[in-house]
Structure 1
Amino acid sequence: MKSEEIFRLFQAIGAAALKYDIEDSHSGNIAMKWLDENGTLRMAITATGSQKGDLEIDHICFPGIDKTTYGHYKASSETDVHAAILSLPDVFGSMHGHTKYATLVTLDDLPKPPQTPLPPLRPIDPLGFYHLGGEVPVRWLRVPTGSREAVHFVLGDLRDHQATYIQGHGPFARGKSVEHAFFNLCLVEHSGYILHFARLIGVNVPALQREIEASPEAFFAAPPRPYLLEDHKRCDFKDEPETVSAFLKTGRRIFESRLSPFHTGSISLRGVDTMLYAPKASMPDGLPGPLLEVPLRIEKGDDPELLVHKWIYHESSLQSVIHAYVPEAEVIHHYVYPGEDSPRNRIVPIDAEGSFLYLVIPVLPPRTDLDELIRNLVDYNTVVIRGGGVWSVGEQSLSEVLHHPSSVRDICFYRIWAIARGLDISKMEPERSKSW
Structure 2
Amino acid sequence: MWQEISKFGKKLVEQGLVSSHFGNISVRVGEYMYITRSGSMLDEITKDDVVRVSIYEPTSLDLIASSEVTAHREIYKNTSALAIIHDHSPFAVIESLIHREQGKERIVPIDSEGSYFLHDIPIVEGGIGTEKLANNLARALEERKAAVVYSHGVFARGSILEEAFVVASMVEHSCKMMYYFDIWKDMNKLP
TM-score when normalising by structure 2:
0.90
Deviations for 1:336-379, whole angstroms, at most 9, x for unmatched residues?
A: xx7xx9xxxxxxxxxxxxxxxxxxxxxxxxxxxxxxxxxxxxxx
The structure with the greater share of residues assigned to strand is 2
**Cα distance in structure 1, aligned partners of 2:100 and 2:104:** 10
Deviations for 1:324-344, whole angstroms, at most 9, x for unmatched residues?
A: xxxxxxxxxxxxxx7xx9xxx
Which residues in structure 2 correspond to 1:33-432 (within 5 Å)?
A: 33-35=28-30, 41-68=31-58, 73-108=63-98, 118-132=104-118, 134-141=119-126, 143=127, 145-202=128-185
Q: Give aligned pairs, total.
A: 190
SS of the aligned residue for 2:121 comes to: coil
Please report the RMSD computed on the Cα atoms of aligned residues, expressed in angstroms.
2.6
**Cα distance in structure 2, aligned partners of 1:99 and 1:87:** 25
| Unaligned segments of structure 1, at least 5 residues | 1-5, 36-40, 205-337, 342-436
How far did residue 108 of structure 1 move? 4.1
- CA 157–70 in structure 1, closer or farther in 2 if over 3 Å, else same: farther
* Structure whose CA Rg is larger: 1
Q: Percent identity?
A: 25
**Cα distance in structure 1, aligned partners of 2:110 and 2:22:** 27
- CA 169–108 in structure 1, closer or farther in 2 if over 3 Å, else same: same
Return the letter of the residue paired with 1:156.
Answer: R
- CA 159–195 in structure 1, closer or farther in 2 if over 3 Å, else same: same
Higher relative contact order (CA 8 A, sep 6+): 2
TM-score when normalising by structure 1:
0.41
Q: Which residue of 1 aligns with 2:2?
A: 7
SS of the aligned residue for 1:194 comes to: helix
SS of the aligned residue for 2:28 comes to: strand
| Unaligned segments of structure 2, at least 5 residues | none
**Cα distance in structure 2, aligned partners of 1:137 and 1:22:** 18
How far did residue 68 of structure 1 move? 3.9
How far did residue 139 of structure 1 move? 2.1
Whether contact under 8 Å (2:51, 2:61) holds in the other structure is no
Q: Which residue of 2 aligns with 1:380?
A: none
**Cα distance in structure 2, aligned partners of 1:187 and 1:70:** 35
Return the letter of the residue paired with 1:46.
Answer: T
**Cα distance in structure 2, aligned partners of 1:43 and 1:86:** 9
**Where does structure 1 differ by over 6 angstroms across 4 or more consecutive aligned residues?**
none
Whether contact under 8 Å (1:103, 1:168) holds in the other structure is yes
Whether contact under 8 Å (1:32, 1:86) holds in the other structure is no
- CA 153–187 in structure 1, closer or farther in 2 if over 3 Å, else same: same
The structure with the greater share of residues assigned to helix is 2
How far did residue 71 of structure 1 move? 10
How far did residue 18 of structure 1 move? 0.3
Which residues in structure 2 correspond to 1:9-28 (within 5 Å)?
A: 9-28=4-23
